[in-house]
Chains A and B, each alone.
Chain A
Amino acid sequence: MWKIIKNEGKSLIRSKVLLGLSIIFFLILLCSVLLGKLQSDKQMQRSNLAKKQLRNQWENIEGMNAHGAAHYGTYIFKPSNFLNGLDEGVNSVTGNVLRVEGHVQNEIVYAEASQMQAVSKFGKLKSALLLQYVLPLLLIFLAFHSISSEKQSGRLKLLMLQGTEPSALVWGKTVSVWLYGMALLTLTLIFYALFNLNNIDTEIINRTLFFYLSYTLYYFILIGLTVLFAARANANLALTSMLGIWIIWTVFLPNILMSSVTNWHQLPSRNQFKEAMKEERSQGIDGHNPYDERVLELENQVLAEYGVDSLSQLPINFDGLRMQADEEFGNQVWNKHFGGLRSILSQQKTSYQLAGILNPFISLQNASMGFAASDNFHHQEFLVQVEHYRRTLIKALNDEHAFGGSKTGDWDWEPDKDFYKSVPDFKYQNTALDNILKNHLPDIMVLIGWTILIGLLLVFATKKMPIL
């Protein structure tokens, strides 16, 4: 088998067409790496500038009471990970800006895709686009050619007569084309690493290794299947069948299966979602309505607690407590409704991951986005972290309003200027690799399952290979 691999390697290098094609393809890949890096850097630069500007505004709040600052709020910009330069995932459709303020959990807005007319249905020229759509097609043609050329030239007959085992031949052909694919993938990642040397740490290396593993498995599946078809069927049927499979796997099924899972686990319409939250929210305390019965109840409780008869006798500012009570009730409502949304999204993801059994391309896409930190898991994780930050921020503001030194009804009281500086800025914590692995274990397992299946087929289904 080693000889076959060596010979294949030599013929790949000797063929001027193939060598030319490989060089062109590699240059395009290199170009995608460079452009991906450039775009990520520019976006990060813009994001850091905006972040700095907003933080500066926050630290220099003047003429505002603490609850006023909660309404003034701040904005969080979705951070971009440098691995996004490899696979952008959902980032261009999710929005980039999230307003953080009192009384309400906002949704992320201003998606890049909404800022101009349609350009590319398959996203930007990132390495993932080429590695997922274009390189596999090249590998299919190579794998097909490696067998069919042997058949057409009559060399296959000669090889069989010389005692070459059919399974050794197909394995040799599969591995040689696979190594070619791996070489392009490896070079792409090496160049990506070279352009991003400053950002590399253990976590990035681990993520990249899993990213690499997903592609190696998928390429083996695709190449093995092509070699199998080319070995078993006539040339035309083999090529057209593999092209058909490629089209169905990459163009048809991801769309159809994703639409199906979103129909099975339906998300509410925005109107239904908002109305349900509004309805439930109206059952709780309204921090801005002093006539609200629940406010009066809270007032009595606090008066009893401090042993005084009226709000003016309280040593604290009751308005701050009222606002925080409103906030805490709101938090329960958001937990229920946004939690419900996350649960549906999670069900959709699980079902879609299972669809990888039918289509390993889905598993590859899931794993690629996941390990490049640009899938919906990471997006949801970001939203949850922002919401935790919002709650901490608003509580700090309401507490300052209540216990900072003002009295009830004193809306002109302003906290010390240093107070706003002391409120920590939002810091995004990267999702731990353990969690990513847990989330993407089904995808990896499906790819391994497919690899084993193809491996077995290569052994057993090629024992009797037609040699003409």
Chain B
Amino acid sequence: MDNFDWSATGFRNKKDAHTMKGLTIFLYEWKHFVRSPFKIVATVLFVFAGMYGLHNGEKLYQEQMGVIATISEKSQEQINKHTLFFDQENPSPENRPWVNLSMPDWAIWYTRTYHFKTPSPAIVYSIGQAEQYGFYKRVNYMSSPYDTDMTKEIANPERLQTGTIDFAFALIFLLPLLLIILLYNLKSMEHEQGFLPLIEVQIATKNIWLMSKVLFYFVFIYLVIVGLLFYGALLTDVFASSGSIFGEMLFYSLLYLVFWTIIFFLLIRKGSGIMENTLKMVGIWLIATFIIPAAVHQWISIEKPANLMTDFIDASRDKKEALYDEDDSVLKARLSALFPEIENSALFMDNSRNKHAFQESKLALLNELKKENIALIEAENTMKNTMVQNSYPFNLISFFQNRFNKVAKTHYNDYQNYRNEIQYLVDIQLETMVVDLWNDTKVDKERFTEYHEIFSSKNLNQN
């Protein structure tokens, strides 16, 4: 063959001939595809599932944005109403004469500070863990990121357990199935019908023939995914939010598709019959998507069973009592260590006038206690997350799931950041309250408005 005159075939050399044949096979696979109703139906179902998932993501985005808008509007009404109380001689709400809004603690209690986990437009791609957490919270100086109102939206637990089809679900679980359906009879059909030796005679290498066919479906599916990603981007205006979201989704989708295509290509290359190939491909899919992640989940639950938050409960009750029972001098020393600025305040040395300030300031010490116990809970959660991450080398499905969740800002860490922001706002409220109480500040309309500015979520980015 080395002395073969390739010019007679119209090709310059063997390499050109192979490339051309590969291209022909690649293009010819389209005909195979359109002649297979089963493959067309499977592709249409995949597109349907993808679009359905995108619309589910968009629905959640709109719902959360709607709730946030309603709460913000109501909160603003409350702020306006409460501000008007300062026009009275004794600023107090109706029917609550014991409330004195000129005192910093009451005034801060009556600020309406809400903090939201505003959904990213990229939620259209992956709902992720968004349905497991709350996304709004009214923050006051007694709040904590683990308060019971931080719970998820009201939902049917069986729906949460079944899960919502989002785009990431279609991609992670249905894409490999689509690939199986598109690839299951490649080579094995020719093998069973006895055409394989004929094909081997007609083409120089069987690998290029098979590769060209697989490549066709790879390109075809990727184009479908790109189309779906683009469609999703239009639903929640992903492009206006950040250009990197679309790019990251393109990249990880490609990576995921490459992963499955290589696995299935190798199986088809080694395998022979349709039944054998299908069984192997479905088997690998089951192991990768069901058994490995489920086994990792089970292992983590055995190592670290669900936290019942007893540390946090203790901090809110018995440890709190123990703290409050400590000697005043000890507590005062702790307070001044926490807020050194109060040592020069008007009331610090005046024990006859600082009882109220001292009593309310204990909340700041309680907050520190809660933070210490929250740290224990979060350390356990971090350990669980580390265990999940350590499984990634053999648990790629969880890796991709969490990558998509990160892009969509629906990952555990995004909600952890949200909890950290809430804690920051609580700290700021407490600091402001303590300093103002010890300085004997009388809150007026101006200071009340300042409080809203200080506690605003807008300040979070600067810190």
Contacts and interface: CB of A to CB of B under 8 A. Distances in A.
A and B form one complex: yes
The bracket for how many chain A residues form the interface is 35 or more
Contacts of B49: 252
Interface stretch (A95-103, A164-172, A298-306): A95-103
A446 B158 CA distance: 19
Given A77-B308, A259-B165, A375 B158 contact: yes
Interface string A65-93: 00000001001010000000000011011
Contacts of A63: 321
9 contacts: A46-B308, A77-B308, A90-B160, A116-B381, A117-B405, A117-B411, A134-B286, A134-B290, A270-B154
Contacts of A112: 301, 306
Contact of A120 (B97, B158, B296): B296
Nearest to A38: B302
Nearest to A64: B321
A121 B173 contact: yes
Contact of A240 (B38, B70, B385, B415): B38
Nearest to A240: B38
B275 A148 contact: yes
A113 B301 CA distance: 10
Nearest to A273: B154
A53 B184 CA distance: 58
A185 to B, nearest CB: 18
Interface of A: 28, 32, 35-36, 38-39, 42-43, 45-47, 50, 53-54, 57, 63, 72, 75, 77, 89-90, 92-97, 99, 106-107, 109-126, 129-130, 133-134, 137, 141, 144-145, 148, 235-237, 239-240, 243-244, 247-248, 251-252, 254-256, 258-259, 262, 267-271, 273, 289, 291-292, 341, 345, 348-349, 352, 369, 375-376, 379
Interface string B312-327: 0100011001000000
Contacts of B146: 110
B293 A376 contact: no
A111 B309 contact: no
A271 B388 contact: no
B459 interface: no
Nearest to A129: B294
A251 B70 CA distance: 36
A111 B411 contact: no
B129 A114 contact: yes
B42 interface: yes
A240 B188 CA distance: 14
Given A53-B310, A255-B164, A118 B279 contact: no
B293 A120 contact: yes
Contact of A115 (B45, B299, B381, B413): B381
Contacts of A75: 313
Given A96-B306, A137-B282, A120 B294 contact: yes
Contacts of A273: 154
B286 A93 contact: no
A267 to B, nearest CB: 5
A251 B290 CA distance: 12
B285 to A, nearest CB: 10
Contact of A116 (B45, B279, B300): B300
A352 B158 contact: yes
Given A93-B157, A122-B293, 13 more contacts: A47-B308, A50-B308, A90-B161, A92-B306, A115-B381, A117-B413, A236-B189, A239-B274, A243-B282, A248-B45, A267-B155, A271-B71, A291-B97
Q: Which 6 A-B pairs have the closest CB atoms?
A: A120-B293, A112-B306, A116-B384, A90-B157, A117-B412, A125-B294
Contacts of A145: 275
Interface string B158-189: 11111111000100111001001100110001
B382 to A, nearest CB: 9
B290 A259 contact: no
Given A39-B302, A110-B307, A57 B293 contact: no
B294 A43 contact: no
Contacts of B200: none
B459 to A, nearest CB: 24
A121 B309 contact: no
A99 B306 CA distance: 17
B321 to A, nearest CB: 8
Contact of A122 (B159, B165, B290): B290
B247 interface: no
Contacts of B310: 50, 53-54
A296 to B, nearest CB: 12
B219 to A, nearest CB: 23
A254 B384 CA distance: 29
A124 B96 CA distance: 52
Given A148-B275, A273-B154, A28 B306 contact: no
